[in-house]
Amino acid sequence: MVITIIGGGNIGTQFAVHCAAKGHNVRILTSAPEVFEKCLTAVDENGNVTLSGSIDFASADPEKTLSDADAVFVTFPSNLMKKAADQVYTYCGNNTLIGVVPGNGGSECAFRKCIGKGNTFFCIERVPAVARLVKKGSIVRSVGYRSELHAAAIPSSEAERCASFVEGIFDIPCKAVPSMLALTMTPSNPVLHTTRLMTIFRDYHEGMVYDRLPLFYEEWDDETSELLFRCDEEVRKICRSLPAFDLSGVRSLREHYESPTPHQLTEKIRSIKAFKGLGTPSVRTEKGFIPDLHSRYFTADFSYGLSAIVQIAHFAGTDIPNLESVLAWYDGIKKETDMFRYEDYGISDTADFLAFYSL
């Protein structure tokens, strides 16, 4: 197959290696094509090569990379999803598999026109493994591979085909999820990252600096776990308020991390090998550290992931004080004005919402 990867960052490079290693013709749409080598490599935590493959080319030209694609993987952050969707709509045909990872933040709405054109849209719930570039355009460290992946599609009748496609690339069992809404509601980064950022930077205001910031996961604390548990339960409450959809695939974070209590969750997250050494998204100034409000941990996970969940709660008529308080905290410090809104895609009331996710 001809597979186009949109985005040449951590996840895009990881996907490109896996697709190329399977013998597919891989093109990468990136703003920095000049840094890409012909052969891409994935390595483990010790720098040992685990996978390699040769791509066709990397280019900044969307027509060149997309016009004959059989499948597209979009690895842009959520705030760039509309741009990617416009490019796919313009240059792809009407029988293309269009996949987004991770599958939250309302990306399905950005691709609504592509779906209407006859393409199949799908999302993978979570990234297959933690990916970090070692050398841009060449080497990616890919560790902590999941034992199972989940994929959902629009139309939903295509979910099994999309799951089989993903499984064939990563050699990881991929389960078809019956509703795209289940992936949009999955409380991974939109709850995991946002609750942690709020507890770290709770008192932040412009002009404030920090002498030191904790490691994001390795120094996780019980205060964050307690807030996460409250938000996680509110996500479950939203799911129960939407009986028209099969949301059984929305696993709580306490279940995902096998942690019945907040303290057990703290210990679990601190111990995950793939999370070791990852810092809090921040910028170092002359006086100290400030939050990096341009990081996708902020611009994607609050403005898109969490925002979508809160809006879904409003469509469902569900009370969610903790989720709303986390989003309101971000609203008080954010630099970006870009926020996901269902109404921007013609979904302005509960009837519109139910109709779209019933496709």
pLDDT per residue as tens digits for the range 260-298: 999 999 999 999 988 999 999 999 999 999 999 999 899
- Beta carbons within 8 Å of 126's beta carbon, 6+ residues apart: 101, 102, 103, 146, 149, 150, 186, 188
Q: Which of 113, 126, 122, 127 is nearest to 156 (CA)?
A: 122
pLDDT of residue 263: 98
The reported pTM is 0.83
pLDDT of residue 106: 87
pLDDT of residue 77: 80
pLDDT of residue 221: 98
Taking the CA atoms of residue 62, residue 68, residue 74 and residue 80 in that order, the dihedral angle to the nearest 10 degrees is 30
Domains and CATH numbers, the chain: 2-180 (3.40.50.720), 189-356 (1.10.1040.10)
Spans in the chain with pLDDT lower than 50: none
pLDDT of residue 56: 98
